[in-house]
Structure 1
Amino acid sequence: MIRLAIVSGKGGTGKTMVAAALADISTVPQVLADCDVDAANLELLFDTRRLTTEEFRGLEVARIDLEQCRDCGICADHCRFGAIVRRNDAWEVDPLHCEGCGVCTYVCPTGSARMEQRVCGEIYTSVTDRGNLAHARLFPGSGNSGLLVSEVRKRATGLADGADLLLADGPPGIGCPLIATISGVDAVLIVTEPGVSALHDLERLVTVCRRFDVQIFVAINRFDLAEDICKRIEDYCEKEGIVVAGKIPFDSSVVDAVRNGRPVTRSDSAATDALRALRDNLFSELGLR
């Protein structure tokens, strides 16, 4: 099974649009994973039926046992994040400010402060009209999104029986969620756009991806909005030996498709033609038929 991650150096490049389009016109059995857990929306573009829902417990948070607490306030004095506050004439932990460092448990003379795992999100498996989907939702203010991405990857692998392709919609940027997404994949498709910041972020992302020994491909979305910068991106890719698998023109039908909650490839358009060419080039390079 080929594991392919669709990623981007910055948000707003059209990464999820490309991922949904490739999933929609894929010619091989596949399983999908939405690894952009901070803003997962791949399911919005397909007919989805939920199979399972699990709690995700990530970062630990402090809790004070009021029955043991002597009201000394030592924990509050040592908390650098202001997470231990005075409410109703007692000390308690504000979970939105607690960073899980555990200092309060170390300094508490009575053992009243304890670390407990908290529910940080939910992990889902679903059936779509284009294959099984593993996805998740990270609750606002919660951390450990990289760990949640790893859990999504595990669920997708569990759903992959008989699949020739695992297609993951990754997060933007180069942080922990991106690392968890591309670890162990065979190839990445970087979706970029003709902008100075996008080119800079593309260069950073390529540097990170090369440390994971994966095949790297590039797709340039809205390439015709700034063809001079598009040429700079192509020159950079040629210099680095990276295949530009496709160039997608600006097309208002893409906006219409997203507004209507469907992949753009379900209607005829210039963008659809370009995305089909992208699929053909990419699948040929990956040995998928």
Structure 2
Amino acid sequence: MKEIAIASGKGGTGKTSIVSSFAKFAEAVIADCDVDAPNLHLIFNPEIEEAIPFEGMKVAEINERCIKCGKCERNCRFNAIENFKVIEEKCEGCGVCVSVCPANAVELKRRIIGEIYVAKSRFGHLIYGLLSSGEGGGKLVSQIRQKARGFSQKRNLILIDSPAGIGCHVIASITNADMVIIVAEPNLSSIHDMHRIIELAEHFKSKVLVIINKWDINEEMTERIEKYCKEKNIKIVGKIPFDKKFVEAVIAGKSIVEYDEKIANLMKEIWKKIEEELNYLR
């Protein structure tokens, strides 16, 4: 079983459109690990088979036994208690308030901060999650990947839609991935962020490939990307031109390969090159 993560150093590079295209050709389990803003399900329109609550750190709760001594508030280093009430957004679940309370009026309770969805789409199984709070995202991503592995026995491949950037969520999405495909655009910020995500992928010893999206909007910058990849011995497996049909396809609730035949042929050729590189890893 192999895992391919499609990543980008910044948002808006077209990563999700590319993942949805590959889903048609790959015969893979798809894992949308952008837990802050998942959107593959908007294109796939899947049928949810299971919704699994995701627990974050526990949160303190003050009950009716409270004698209003104030010890919990004075000892809380996160300032999460005011007027004998817990501010859940600030509570780190450390349990100090539980320890110092003389009336046993404070307890730690479960906190549900997101969900993992197992869904069936026209492309196969889609596993994705939604985080309702900022904490625990890396753990949620890891659990999504683990859940996807449970469905990969028949297909032997997992396609991961990684979050943008190089933060905790991204690290969790590409750790131990066999291959990381980086989607870059020909502009300064995208090139800078591409360098960072390449360094991150190389740190985890993943095979790195690059796709240049909207390559024709700035050919000079495209040449810079090509030169950098050549120096780093990184293969560019595809160059996708700017086309408004990508937006039209999303509005229509379709992947671009279902919407436009010409672009579908291009994406299929790119996928063939990726498969060739993947075969070298076996």
Change in 2 beyond 3 A, CA 1:195/1:110: farther
1:77 counterpart = 2:85: no
For 1:234, which of 207, 226, 231 is the aligned residue?
Answer: 226
Q: Distance in 2 between matches of 1:66 and 1:159?
A: 46
- How far did residue 157 of structure 1 move? 0.7
Q: Distance in 1 between matches of 2:188 and 2:77?
A: 39
For 1:112, which of 102, 105, 111 is the aligned residue?
Answer: 105
Map 1:80-99; keep pairs closer than 5 Å. Answer: 80-86=77-83, 91-99=84-92
- How far did residue 239 of structure 1 move? 1.0
Q: Provide the secondary structure at the position in 1 that maps to 2:172.
A: helix
Give CA deviations for 1:35-89 in whole Å, capped at 9, x if unaligned: 111111111111411111111112222222331x221223223434442122xxx
- How far did residue 188 of structure 1 move? 0.8
Backbone CA RMSD of aligned residues: 1.8
Q: Distance in 2 between matches of 1:49 and 1:132?
A: 10
Counterpart for residue 126 of structure 1: 119
Change in 2 beyond 3 A, CA 1:122/1:135: same
Map 1:246-285; keep pairs closer than 5 Å. Answer: 246-268=238-260, 271-285=263-277
Asked whether the equivalents of residues 62 and 100 of structure 1 are also in contact (C-alpha less than 8 Å), the reply is yes
Counterpart for residue 199 of structure 1: 191
Counterpart for residue 187 of structure 1: 179
The alignment's TM-score, normalised by the length of structure 2, stands at: 0.93
For 2:44, which of 34, 39, 46 is the aligned residue?
Answer: 46
1:33 counterpart = 2:41: no
Q: Distance in 1 between matches of 2:208 and 2:48?
A: 33
- How far did residue 106 of structure 1 move? 4.8
Amino acid at match of 1:20: S
The alignment's TM-score, normalised by the length of structure 1, stands at: 0.91
Change in 2 beyond 3 A, CA 1:105/1:128: same
Unaligned runs of 5+ in 1: none
Amino acid at match of 1:60: K
Percent identity (aligned): 40
Q: Provide the secondary structure at the position in 2 that maps to 1:59.
A: coil
Counterpart for residue 175 of structure 1: 167
Asked whether the equivalents of residues 5 and 169 of structure 1 are also in contact (C-alpha less than 8 Å), the reply is yes
Q: Provide the secondary structure at the position in 1 that maps to 2:193.
A: helix
Q: Distance in 2 between matches of 1:201 and 1:116?
A: 40
Q: Provide the secondary structure at the position in 1 that maps to 2:180.
A: strand
Change in 2 beyond 3 A, CA 1:183/1:152: same
Amino acid at match of 2:97: C
- How far did residue 105 of structure 1 move? 3.6
Unaligned runs of 5+ in 2: none
